[in-house]
Amino acid sequence: MRALLLTRDPDLSVTLTEVDEADLPDGEVLIDVSHSSLNYKDGLAVTGRGKIVRGDFPFVPGIDLAGTVAASVSDRWAEGDAVILTGWGTGEDRWGGFAERARASADHLVASPGSLSAEDAMWIGTAGFTAMLSVLALEAHGVGPDAGPIAVTGASGGVGSMATALLAAAGYEVHAVTGTASAHGYLRALGAAEIVDRHALADAAEPPLQRGVWAGAVDSVGGTTLAALLAQSRRHACVAACGLASGPALATTVFPFILRGVTLAGIDSNTAPVPLREQAWARLADAVAAGALSAVEKTVIPLADVPAWSARIVDGDTVGRVVVDTRT
């Protein structure tokens, strides 16, 4: 099978090469991978600019994959089933999606909703899945489309642009928080009602309780941005915290929680339980069918182009989502 192989000798190098299928990790299900996607995390792994790979080298990266079951020793999956795999350490401690085949645990797979193609599943990928988990968290905490403005931070990024599109299509009033001036038109096209300057929000973390603005938020940035969102949350708002693009620290107080009933909902796509995954993917398939994501740019690249595009995604030189067609 063809695979993108990372080796360390001692410097990191990446080559598109033939790999013996017998070298795949253990797992009940063998998958013919047709598509993967390029996430920021993959960019860090392939360029070696971030410590993402925890498995032994040589290593096949790629945190997302979609394809069909080629063989299964689990009675939960049969040859020909369309499946999606994201997270569970794929492309981090287990060989991932930048290959023509992968092997996975039967418990980690999700059946691809019938209407969703493998290419579209990977257009969504971990970024869109995380955005949908965030939307589900807002809903679970009673924040509906009529609740008031919803802030989406890191709005031009993978998670942020998917969250903007999903929320806007569901009727929410989305305020897209961005530091990228050139993305304003794109964010409007995704459905953002307002554009907020990321620096102004990050500078407004104090005092810890301010005028309530946000009915909810999807935050992929963390740091003072998240602190500001909490300080400016309305009563019974829900803030879904899913990322740390500006940093992992969070300096806040208990006031938003005990005086306004604000909920800080943690989002972890990596270990999300399967029933929640199935719910999220069903909703994502509906969103695609309804055209809710049509403004999210999709670039399809062959396996051989992953190294060049990895550098671009780490340099912030990509828009929308990058799908990898592993058959080309």
- Chain residues binding ligand NDP by CB under 6 A are 39-40, 126-127, 130, 154-160, 178-180, 183, 198, 220-221, 242-246, 267-270
Q: Minimum distance from CB of 258 to ligand NDP (Å)?
A: 26
> How many beta carbons lie within 10 A of that of residue 122, not counting itself?
32
Q: Kindly tell me which of 102 and 267 has the beta carbon lying closer to ligand NDP.
A: 267
Instruction: With beta carbons less than 8 A apart as the criterion, state whether 141 and 238 touch.
Output: yes
According to DSSP, residue 259 is labeled H
Q: Minimum distance from CB of 18 to ligand NDP (Å)?
A: 31
Q: Minimum distance from CB of 156 to ligand NDP (Å)?
A: 3
Q: Minimum distance from CB of 193 to ligand NDP (Å)?
A: 16
Instruction: With beta carbons less than 8 A apart as the criterion, state whether 5 and 17 touch.
Output: yes
Give the chain's length. Answer: 328
Q: Kindly tell me which of 168 and 242 has the beta carbon lying closer to ligand NDP.
A: 242
Q: Kindly tell me which of 178 and 232 has the beta carbon lying closer to ligand NDP.
A: 178
For ligand NDP, which residue has the nearest CB? 157
> How many beta carbons lie within 10 A of that of residue 258, not counting itself?
9
Q: Minimum distance from CB of 67 to ligand NDP (Å)?
A: 21
Q: Minimum distance from CB of 314 to ligand NDP (Å)?
A: 8
Q: Kindly tell me which of 99 and 159 has the beta carbon lying closer to ligand NDP.
A: 159
According to DSSP, residue 90 is labeled B
Q: Kindly tell me which of 3 and 163 has the beta carbon lying closer to ligand NDP.
A: 163
E-strand ranges in the chain read: 2-8, 12-18, 29-38, 64-72, 82-86, 101-104, 110-111, 149-153, 173-178, 194-197, 214-219, 233-241, 263-266, 298-302, 321-325
Cα-flanking dihedrals φ and ψ of residue 31, to 5°?
-120, 130
Instruction: With beta carbons less than 8 A apart as the criterion, state whether 65 and 89 touch.
Output: no
Q: Kindly tell me which of 1 and 244 has the beta carbon lying closer to ligand NDP.
A: 244
